[in-house]
Amino acid sequence: MKKTICFILLALISTATHSHPYFGENRAPFEYLTSYLYGNPLINKDTFIFNTFSTDENVVNTNFNQNRKDGSKTHITKLPTEAQKAKVLVDDSAANYIRGDKRYFDHNDPNCLKIISVIPVFPIFSPICQNTLAAKLPSVSNNGISGTWSPAQINTNQGGLFIYTFMPFGGQNADTITIPILIVAQINPIFSQIGPYNLNQHPDLLPSHSLDGISGTWFPPSVNTSSSGTTSYIFTPDASQCAATVGIDVQVNALIDTTEMPATAAWYSTTWIEGGLNGEYCDLGINIIQVMRDTLIENKLCRIIGVTDAGKYLKESEIPFYAKNNRIYFHEDNEWKLLYNFDAKVGDTITYSISNKAIYYAKYGIIPFPIQTGPFSLFVTAIDTVYTTSGKALKRFQTENAEFRDNSMQNIIEKVGSVDKLFGSNIIIVPPECNTFPQLRCYIDSNFSYKFVQGECDNIDALQEEKKMMLSIAPNPGVNQININIPNNMDLPLRYEVLSVRNHRVATGTYSSAQTLTIEADDLLSGMYIVRLMDMQGRLWIGKWVKL
């Protein structure tokens, strides 16, 4: 029987030796008859076994070695006992395999081995970072197959696994193949908060790695705290980490400007309950103006002050206050407004404002309608000295309104404010049958206390002192003179003033005698007036006089 021998070129040899052929499929052992031709004629024929293997990169163990010179051709003839089709791969040297040539025994011709097709081989595509410039797809495979790609180039705009198809040109007996390429989504490095810092504070070093392990560099390379404000620091990741450039804002605060007003400041006074408008006109209650808490406004640490009236805290009365360099300000309408200037000198004119919420701070009780808030002007007419309960000297400013306006500060005690409470005295309503009048009783903080009356500052039992400090005025009602009996316990000289029911000062002056004080009243209009005397200790006596 004549046997057909097919001569098929499997590989061009580029080195001096052949190594063993290997399979590209996992199959049972096969026995092959091989012929080696160095030209013509056939000079050698061997039979050997290709054993089973697990991957296409394992060299098949055979029962003999092939060593042939360059240019030799290998012919493989299938034995009758072999399977109808098997995959065979051939290498071109001992260490360099041509992986991918698919060679099958044609089941239609069991005696011949022919090349069915060739699989293009490409290097492994490493994952590519999103939004980076990818290399061009190669137009020729490692095993010499040329063709085109679809898509034609790698797109890195979006992360994920994408399939690219290589289509060989015709006439190469090569397969179309698909290759997956992984685009790694961009990582945004994460950092713990950096700062804020105070001006000239020693900053931390900027971290060389993010919390998720991304390494990189910073610009600027370190935090600068020599000036206040917000600075952006840019972190640029090292290459090949698929990480994005990120910016971190670092805040450097200016030194906090802390108020000089003590956190314990409190003003105790008596007021007519509900302003004397409801219930019993003459019912007096304790009114407390005090610091409630701190807040930060425009980098100023200031005090929030509120009013507790007759045991009820009035949240709506809260106002931010700030004291610095012998001045007191309050914050309203997005600005700081001057209330007191304790550096004023005799003859100075001081312009000040009061708050829209001064209705809660009024001397005689809560005012149930809007009031003027200024700005107002006052003259400093005299400055003398008063003493705290511990003997500390404080300046007392005697003032007069520079113009006819509704608000009046009267006497002002350094660091305390007006003797008519924090915002002075505005429009008043005087219940005619009251024998006692509201007044400021004490100022207390952690540094000193100043008392305007004897007795406890916040003890309701002490309110009887109000009656003891009422003035004796005769004749009352009167026509052309106000005659005031000077109390025996007054510390002279004293300051007196006569106020209309609208809180307009109609007479004022000083008096040093213990004899009866007479004030001319010919020019006064008929009506009720309030007479006040204040001694050197700041104690206040009040009386009511009616002109016929």
Q: What is the pLDDT of residue 125?
A: 84
Lowest mean pLDDT among 44-48, 134-138, 450-454: 44-48
Q: Greater confidence, 502 or 184?
A: 184
Condensed to tens digits (0 to 9), the pLDDT of residues 189-199 reads 999 999 888 88
Assigned domain for 284 exists: yes
Nearest to 487 by CA among 500, 506, 468, 503: 468
Does 306 have pLDDT greater than 50?
A: yes
User: Is there a contact between 533 and 485 (Cβ–Cβ < 8 Å)?
Assistant: no
Regarding whether 329 and 455 lie in a shared domain, the answer is yes
Over residues 106-129, mean pLDDT: 64
CA angle 442, 448, 452 (to 5 degrees): 25
Domain end, chosen from 465, 487, 506, is at: 465
Domain end, chosen from 434, 450, 465, is at: 465
8-state DSSP, 492: S
Q: What is the pLDDT of residue 377?
A: 92
Condensed to tens digits (0 to 9), the pLDDT of residues 135-158 reads 999 999 988 889 999 999 999 998
Q: How many domains does the chain have?
A: 5
Q: Is the peptide bond before 138 cis (omega within 30 degrees of 0)?
A: no
Does 376 have pLDDT greater than 60?
A: yes
Q: What is the pLDDT of residue 446?
A: 87
Q: What is the pLDDT of residue 325?
A: 94
Assigned domain for 22 exists: no
Over residues 410-426, mean pLDDT: 89
Regarding whether 539 and 410 lie in a shared domain, the answer is no
User: Is there a contact between 147 and 139 (Cβ–Cβ < 8 Å)?
Assistant: yes
Regarding whether 445 and 298 lie in a shared domain, the answer is yes
Sign of CA dihedral 508, 407, 457, 434: positive
Over residues 46-52, mean pLDDT: 35
Regarding whether 531 and 410 lie in a shared domain, the answer is no
Over residues 357-367, mean pLDDT: 84
Over residues 164-170, mean pLDDT: 94
What's the pLDDT band for 312 if we cut at 50, 70, 90?
Answer: confident
Alpha carbon dihedral 58, 59, 62, 65, in 10-degree steps, equals -170
Q: Domain of 49?
A: 30-118
Over residues 397-408, mean pLDDT: 80
pTM: 0.49
Assigned domain for 84 exists: yes
What's the pLDDT band for 44 if we cut at 50, 70, 90?
Answer: very low
Regarding whether 458 and 502 lie in a shared domain, the answer is no
Assigned domain for 38 exists: yes
User: Is there a contact between 71 and 13 (Cβ–Cβ < 8 Å)?
Assistant: yes
User: Is there a contact between 23 and 88 (Cβ–Cβ < 8 Å)?
Assistant: yes
Edge-first strand listing for the sheet containing 73-78: 44-50, 30-37, 73-78
Q: What is the pLDDT of residue 31?
A: 36
Regarding whether 247 and 391 lie in a shared domain, the answer is no
**Whole-angstrom distance, CA of residue 288 vs CA of residue 285:** 10
Over residues 407-424, mean pLDDT: 90
Q: Greater confidence, 321 or 71?
A: 321
Q: What is the pLDDT of residue 267?
A: 93
Q: What is the pLDDT of residue 309?
A: 86
Euclidean distance between the first and final Cα of the chain, in Å? 159
Longest CA–CA separation in the chain, Å: 163
3-state per-residue secondary structure call for 98-156: CCCEEEEECCCCCCCEEEEEECCCCCCCCCEECCCCCCCCCCECCCCCEEEEECCCCCC
Where residue 540 sits, what CATH number does that domain have? 2.60.40.1220
Condensed to tens digits (0 to 9), the pLDDT of residues 272-305 reads 765 544 445 567 778 899 999 988 888 888 999 9
Q: What is the pLDDT of residue 30?
A: 37
Assigned domain for 152 exists: yes
Regarding whether 40 and 134 lie in a shared domain, the answer is no
Domain end, chosen from 465, 491, 515, is at: 465
Q: Beta-strand (E) ranges in 14-118?
A: 30-37, 44-50, 73-78, 87-88, 101-105, 113-118
Regarding whether 142 and 246 lie in a shared domain, the answer is no
Sign of CA dihedral 92, 93, 99, 103: positive
What's the pLDDT band for 29 if we cut at 50, 70, 90?
Answer: very low
Lowest mean pLDDT among 113-117, 262-266, 313-317, 333-337: 113-117
- Residues ≥6 apart with Cβ < 8 Å to 217: 208, 235, 236, 238
Assigned domain for 492 exists: yes
Q: What is the pLDDT of residue 469?
A: 65
User: Is there a contact between 443 and 450 (Cβ–Cβ < 8 Å)?
Assistant: yes
Regarding whether 339 and 451 lie in a shared domain, the answer is yes
Number of H helices, E strands in the chain: 1, 35
Assigned domain for 156 exists: yes
Nearest to 328 by CA among 310, 343, 309: 343
Does 403 have pLDDT greater than 60?
A: yes
Does 159 have pLDDT greater than 70?
A: yes
Regarding whether 476 and 453 lie in a shared domain, the answer is no
Give the tokens for residue 461.
């039992």
The full DSSP string for 317-384 is: EEEEEEEETTEEEEEETTEEEEEEETT--TT-EEEE---GGGGGS-TTS--SS------EEEEEEEEE
Q: What is the pLDDT of residue 6?
A: 32
Assigned domain for 239 exists: yes
User: Is there a contact between 194 and 210 (Cβ–Cβ < 8 Å)?
Assistant: no
- The mean predicted confidence, pLDDT, of the chain is 75
Regarding whether 166 and 212 lie in a shared domain, the answer is no
What's the pLDDT band for 36 if we cut at 50, 70, 90?
Answer: very low
Q: Greater confidence, 355 or 435?
A: 355
Regarding whether 499 and 399 lie in a shared domain, the answer is no
Sign of CA dihedral 451, 457, 460, 461: negative
